[in-house]
Amino acid sequence: MSRWTRIRIWIIVVLIAVIYLLTRFGVGLYTDFLWFQHLNLQSVFLTSIWAKVGVGLAVAIPFALIFLVNILIARWQSVRNVLFFSEETLVAQKFVVWLIWGTTLFLSWVVGTAASGNWLLFLRFLKQQSFGLTDPVFNIDASFYLFSLPFYHFIQTWLIIVLFLSLIGATVIYTLAQQNNLAEGRIIILPHVLLHLSVLGALIFFTFALGHWLSLFDLMYSERGVAFGASYTDINISMPALWVMVVTAITAGVMLLLNTVFRRAALSLLAVFLWIVVGIVATGLIPGIIQRYVVEPNELARETPYIRNNITFTRVAYGLDKIQEQDFPKLEPLTQETLADNAATIRNIRLWDYRPLLQTYQQIQAIRLYYNFLDVDMDRYVINGELRQVTLAPRELVKEQLQSPTWVTRKLQFTHSYGVVMNPIDEVTREGLPQLWIKDLPPVSSIDLKVERPEIYYGEATNDYVFVKTTEREFNYPSGDQNVYANYQGGGGVVLDSYLKRLAFALRLADMNMLLSQEFTRESRVLIYRNIRERVQRIAPFLEYDRDPYVLIGPDGHLYWLQDAYTISSRFPYSEPFGEINYIRNSVKVLIDAYDGSLIFYVVDEADPLVRTYAAIFPQLFTPMSQMPDWLKAHLRYPEDLFRIQAEMFRTYHMGDVNVFYNKEDVWQVPQETFAGNTQPVEPYYVIIRSPGQDDSEFVLMQPFTPNNKENLIAWIAARCDGEHYGELLVYRFPKQELIFGPLQIEGRIDQTPEISAQITLWGQGGSEVIRGNLLVLPVGNSLLYVEPLYLRAEQGQIPELKRVILASGDQIVMRETLEDSLLALFEGEPAVAAVERPAATETAEPATPQETTPAAPIEPLSDDVAELARAASEYYEAAQVALRQGDWATYGEKLEQMKAVLDKLVELTGAE
């Protein structure tokens, strides 16, 4: 083969490699850049790219130099000692040069590529922010453990890898040089070989010493003791043992260096043997003996300070240290005056459980087979001047249900979902269905809240890419036998204004129809990463995201998504792990426009050092909460995932006394309830309540607790969601000496009420499925009200209908068709089930509007006639009951006050106590 032929072959190979790399990586980088650029977040993309390249080079180049120098030294030493090698061996070693360079490049590429995945670790180290909290052992700021220690571990691991590979490579070269001697059954270790390998071995042991020193700080994550974190044995035994290991590793390294002078192979083996034996005895055998025979017999006494450290740092890591704990006032019987004082709570009692409601939405509002409801969200809106809790659900498009799923229909026509459904949580039609305030296609609203832009191009089920602004009309919504079409008017997506962009995305998406279709224009756009969770993860993969983003209706009539995001870590000292994390903050909330896909990352916890570190890395990504619009602040919800974690940790970590904590004397648990015939834990629930000691009603997320292995209530925790109190956690403890019924006990009392159980059995015998909804425990003033909706689903039906409302308070349990009737029965002492059921208050699907009321008139001077006063009290009472049935809580409270004034006058005249 001629020289020019070999050159041509090399040129072809290089061209093929370049084309492959451009196709494999270049297209992805280019299209990703275009995507970030259309969101004005190209700085985020470039920061990550340059960081990956920088870290990869920073790791690969030193690796290549160290590895190559050691290999070349070994080869030079082998070739220099020609005494032991034949001419054939020397000729063969010339070919080794190509192998050396190829191996060096390959290993450097592998190590550099692997290291580039840790680009964020490097940036966090460089931009780290202080916690202002030091650990109790080394007195070092917690930022060291989250940012610096992982970086130092990475460097130590990298040193071990490069030195070990260099040792292996040099050994291979020296072994190849000995092949003739090996063939004769002998091996000769020359002085230069011993010198080279001893130096590498010494460096490896010095790196081991660095690792042992870093392990001192890893004791903050020890699981040896009764609580997570450094324990008695760790501090008093393991820590000195690790210092011994540091000294031993350094000594072993020095012995190997001395071996370059004494040149005794046995000295090298002795150094390795010494390090292994000391490691087994000092870090394994002795700590185990001390833990078993010294600590465990006196565990509480010896572990007390370390348990206290665990309690303190766990509370900080999960935000439990800021919980406001107080005793629930002495429980009082529920009265009508209490209801009037807590009208907002009663007005917003949740009768619609999200699970049967989701099935109902699907049956009455999906409208077409290709529409589906994935989830029901809880929120609150000011409707007609009144704060109302509502449920919302977006109508998502399911393309698998399309009758003719061609490329045109899937990518050009059916491009978006459409509309939302909304109803108040407390209103029911005569048929047992939810009162729909927003419904149908296009959305019809019967309240002062309009949906002007119902199209959902970005949602929870939009998992594919589509093209908009093509010559093909987009399907908007069905209307009778016809379809309504529209064209995209937003600015979302990457503009395909050049053939290069179309080619790049065609290669990226493996969709050659992009190049063949005639429907594209210079205005056409491609919409990718339309699933909102995938979208935010693509932009900020270093954040953890809540499982339940929720939809909002903005003041402009647009639909938005609010996605909660968390900063997490598994490296917080002394903090008890929850799964794979031991630190979490809800520091970011992401607002996503459902129409154009634009995003805003709001920082809602600027005190969090992790989010401040990320903000220093990506200054263009985050927006301070001070710039959040007021309408959005009014819809912030405390995220349920975080609340569940905090509630789970607080079950144990509400115990601040070390002795109580150690003995687990006061562990709580999440209570059980009956839902749809199954016993399951009570889920956290959003409600509007006025907490004891608070002046106003507010939207909270709450969770009751019972003692471990018991069913009575012991406490409840609530996360506040409104205004300046957003994020505050309140805990109310019930008196331990008083029996407060828990959810499962109330469920048992319901089952033991003959009238109710007989009615439920009768429905079941008639073929209907009885679904018992969430049992809510609601604090109303200084009283408790238990609410459980009852749904029926016909044997062949798919629509759960709300048929009864069960209320319990004190010793009384009642069941009626409506909440209003149940409240009346609760105070009138009627039987649990009325002999003649009252009809539902609402007969049509039209929404109930608040009754107009006039300002309370002053009470006129009262007569001294007892009969007249008694008649007036009776009239006020009847008027109050009418207001109660209508849900007019203002008038209800006014009439009760007037009745109270009359009764007080009667007491004065009659001299009654």
| pLDDT, tens only, 31-45 | 999 999 999 999 999
Q: What's the rounded mean pLDDT across residues 425-444?
A: 94
Instruction: Reply yes or no on whether the pLDDT at 242 is more than 90.
Output: yes
Q: What's the rounded mean pLDDT across residues 233-237?
A: 94
Q: What is the pTM of this model?
A: 0.87
Q: What's the rounded mean pLDDT across residues 702-706?
A: 96
Respond yes or no on whether the N-terminal peptide bond of residue 442 is cis (omega within 30° of 0): yes
Instruction: Reply yes or no on whether the pLDDT at 267 is more than 50.
Output: yes
Residue 895 confidence (pLDDT) = 76
Instruction: Reply yes or no on whether the pLDDT at 66 is more than 60.
Output: yes
| Stronger pLDDT, 76 or 560, i.e. the higher one | 560
Q: What's the rounded mean pLDDT across residues 866-884?
A: 74
Strand-pair partners of 809: 812
Instruction: Reply yes or no on whether the pLDDT at 842 is more than 60.
Output: no
Share of the chain above pLDDT 70, in %: 89
pLDDT in tens, 782-800: 999 999 999 998 877 789 9
* CA–CA distances in Å: residue 500 to residues 35, 411, 877: 15, 20, 79
* DSSP 8-state secondary structure symbol assigned to residue 234: I
Q: Lowest-pLDDT range, 259-273, 669-683, 802-816?
A: 259-273
Instruction: Reply yes or no on whether the pLDDT at 864 is more than 90.
Output: no
**Residue for token pair 């309690």:** 311
- Give strand ranges (E) for 230-376: 324-327, 371-372
| Stronger pLDDT, 273 or 633, i.e. the higher one | 633
Residue 102 confidence (pLDDT) = 86
Instruction: Reply yes or no on whether the pLDDT at 856 is more than 60.
Output: no
Distance separating alpha carbons of residues 452 and 554, to the nearest angstrom = 10
111 pLDDT band (50/70/90 cuts)? very high
Instruction: Reply yes or no on whether the pLDDT at 835 is more than 70.
Output: no
Distance separating alpha carbons of residues 331 and 342, to the nearest angstrom = 16
Residue 858 confidence (pLDDT) = 42
Residue 2 confidence (pLDDT) = 64
Chain CA centroid to CA 253, Å? 47
| Stronger pLDDT, 676 or 913, i.e. the higher one | 676
857 pLDDT band (50/70/90 cuts)? very low
Question: Which class for 732: exposed (0-12), middle (13-18), buried (19 or more C-beta within 10 A)?
Answer: buried
* CA–CA distances in Å: residue 31 to residues 24, 226, 493, 620: 12, 52, 11, 20
403 pLDDT band (50/70/90 cuts)? confident
Residue 37 confidence (pLDDT) = 96
Residue pair 719/700 in contact (Cβ under 8 Å)? The answer is yes
Distance separating alpha carbons of residues 819 and 842, to the nearest angstrom = 12
At residue 655's C-alpha, the angle toward residues 653 and 660, to 5°, is 130
The helix/strand/coil state of 772 is strand
| The three-state (H, E, C) secondary structure of 722-767, written as one string | CHHHCCCEEEEECCCCCCCCCHHHHHHHHHHCHHHHHHHHHHHHCC
| 627-640 residues labelled b (16+ CB within 10 A) or e (exposed) | ebeeebebbbbbbb
Share of the chain above pLDDT 90, in %: 65
Identify which of 405, 536, 416 has the alpha carbon closest to the alpha carbon of residue 467.
416
Residue 855 confidence (pLDDT) = 38
Q: Lowest-pLDDT range, 83-97, 417-431, 557-571, 684-698?
A: 83-97
| The three-state (H, E, C) secondary structure of 68-134, written as one string | HHHHHHHHHHHHHCHHHCCHHHHHHHHHHHHHHHHHHHHHHHHHHHHHHCCHHHHHHHHHCCCCCCE
Q: Which are the contacts of 908, defined by CB distance < 8 A and separation ≥ 6? A: none
Instruction: Reply yes or no on whether the pLDDT at 725 is more than 70.
Output: yes
Residue 676 confidence (pLDDT) = 74
- How many other CB atoms are there within 10 angstroms of residue 106's CB atom? 10
Q: Lowest-pLDDT range, 315-319, 706-710, 816-820, 827-831?
A: 827-831
357 pLDDT band (50/70/90 cuts)? very high
* CA–CA distances in Å: residue 283 to residues 212, 269, 574: 10, 21, 20
Interhelix angle 149-177/87-116, rounded to 10 degrees, is 170
Distance separating alpha carbons of residues 597 and 561, to the nearest angstrom = 10
**Residue for token pair 């710039």:** 627
Average pLDDT of the chain, as a whole number? 88
* DSSP 8-state secondary structure symbol assigned to residue 627: G
Residue 839 confidence (pLDDT) = 35
- How many other CB atoms are there within 10 angstroms of residue 688's CB atom? 24
pLDDT in tens, 501-534: 999 999 999 999 999 999 999 999 999 999 999 9
pLDDT in tens, 600-641: 999 999 999 999 999 999 999 999 999 999 999 999 999 999
